[in-house]
Amino acid sequence: MYCRRVELLSKEKIAERYFRIGFECRDIARESRPGQFLMVRLLKPSWEFLLSRPFSLCMVDGSRIELLFEVVGKGTRSLSQAEEGAVLEIIGPLGNGFDLEATSTPILVGGGMG
Q: pLDDT tens-digit profile of 41-88?
A: 999 866 666 789 999 999 999 999 999 999 998 889 989 999 999 999
pLDDT for 91 beyond 60: yes
pTM across the whole model: 0.87
Q: What was the pLDDT predicted at 101?
A: 75
CA dihedral 78, 87, 97, 29 (to 10 degrees): 140
Q: What was the pLDDT predicted at 21?
A: 98
